[in-house]
Structure 1
Amino acid sequence: MTSRRELKNYAKQAMSGKYGILILAFVAVQALALISSMISSALFPGEETIDIVLSYAFTFILTLLINVVAAGMNYMYLNIARGKVYSLNDLFYFYRHHPDRVIVAGFFMAVLNLLTMLPYTIYSNANLPGEDASVEVLITWLYTGVVLMIVGMIVYQILVIPLEMTYYILADKPELKSTEAMKESLEMMHGNFGRYLMLKISFIPLMFLSVFTFYIALLWIFPYMAMTEVMFYRDLTGELKVQKEEEERMARDYVNPMFDSYSRNEQPQEDQTHPQHFGNVTGESSTVYYENNKDNVSSGNKETGDIEHNSWENTEMQDDLRSQTNAEEKHDQYNTEKNDMQSTQTQTAPKEEEDNEPKPWDEYFNSL
């Protein structure tokens, strides 16, 4: 399994150079949620129970429709993580491909959210302080409401973790129904609950630090979280493992381009020419042949033993005669070569020329 640091590094690499469209998609989804809340407040401004119930019902319906767009954002993030073509039109992908699947899955999650936030909703509306309430009462009401809201959000996040992969599965498998996708998400997250929870907790320090940027940094933090979750999904499906192996192969080719080509060409040659492979093939057949013909071989050895003994003595005598004959022939050949060399030297030696020219003293002796 890939560590949290590696998942975040892969998320940063995928987001590099694409922050504009990622932030724009996030802002679009949040703007739709804000607009739905404003419309609900405008349509049901009263503080009576009927107005509150209708306001929540209307907001609930709008939330289901907005979840289809949010699921489309997850589809766009998947395309970016995989290096595929992407655009803002991906936000409406599920509206064009069976939106009912996302609506059913979103309905289940929305009901779960409603139940976990119900204590906060009841308390904040039933114990609303009046206009003449003291500051202490307002602070107590506000403090209790914030605590209930935070607790409800934490409980919801914990309960919904096993279903977090549903939208990604629906994006990858359009033929699946929403219930089948949720079931597959439960199976996929089995044994990975703690890893995913720690992954989400690891972003809390960044959220606290965003206070110093007047929460402007959240425009980068939330897309960063979403892309890291996409990488977590790809890790569960095995895509990241394949990607890492491909990156290692490319790095090896960059360092030594001849390595892979040599290894690919070397393996077939070893299979054809290496003695070990030949021995593995022929060794078994020769063993089987020996076992099947062991009796015949032993009987044949007994019958031919005497003949081999007699032939060995004759062969030894013949070898001695051959060695003597070869020695004599070599000696004669040596003498013949020696005589030939001497005759060649005699023929090639320059003959002395006779000196027949007259000498000065010959005249003197002739005069006498």
Structure 2
Amino acid sequence: MAAGRRARPRHGRAARPHDDPAEGASVTAPTVDVHAHVLLPEVDALVAGRPGLAEARALDALRNGPAALAVNGPMVRERVPALTDVAVRLSAMDAQGVDVQLVSPSPSHYHYWADEETAEKLCLLAGEATAAHCARAPGRLHGLGLAPLQHPKLAVRTLEHAMGLGLLGVEISSHAPGRELSDPAYEPFWTRAEDTGAILFLHPFGCTLDERLDRWYLSNTVGQPTENAVALSHLIFSGVLDRHPGLKLIAAHGGGYLPTHLGRSDHAWSARSDAGAGCAHLPSSYLKRLYFDSLVHDPYVLRELIRVAGADRVLLGSDFPFDMGTEDPVGALRAARLSDADFDAVRGGNAALLLRKD
């Protein structure tokens, strides 16, 4: 979830699924947006008044600062219909030229402060509510549940529950309090996700740099890319991706700073025994084992992401309907001036293959 200056109106017709990036291009796959959110009032009701919620909100206020919070509230309230009403969502998708969305709960629903009992109830409820939302538009909406990273032993159970509901996997943040994604306690979770073919959507919420980023919305503009880079580095350098090469993990926001700045990591891996101790291969090589959404807000950065990760590893993403997303994800992709084949792969071809339940 993100906040910032209100989006300016776009001019001209939204891209449609049959539009070509260039004359004569062939389009067969649907246009698929893998980064879209749903707000779940049921989850908010569940955690209301629970011990730990007030402290978590105070920490969130510290990390974002008063100016950001003053913008966040009205921004989210304005978008509640798009976040909760399927008819509003479908209308917006039609206007954007998006055929299919992969819908994940708003990251504000993570609540990694919650005790085991509350966390399990929360994740089960979030899965059920997301599945019900998506069931109102079968074929157009696919969903993800949540996993309580603060309680690794529950993560497998909630993943299996989500998959049993017909969801395609779960959304996770970049870390939990006191635990990085390299923590050995997550090994059963990675194993089960790999075995089931579950999609894991890595979407940070909050940044541990705290009040250093509490002005000018740095908590999001700098904090989110930083969190992505740290989380992915833990997965790479710890050997998680060596042990679980079949993981289907999508990193939001184009993977943050990491994909386009991995030269320093590659150098460290080659030059230092401590940096190279945990993973078997050059760090940059692992980009081709991950997936990334296209939401980088710069066509040249998107071109570089596609160059280093491969056109088959980048998926269309909008962060619907938050203000730090894009209202025209297909147009943003077109601005990168890719080849017809790469355009179609990112627009929907890659996601159509990844989202298949078989």
TM-score, structure 2 as length reference: 0.27
**Bigger CA radius of gyration:** 1
TM-score by length of 1: 0.26
Higher helix share: 1
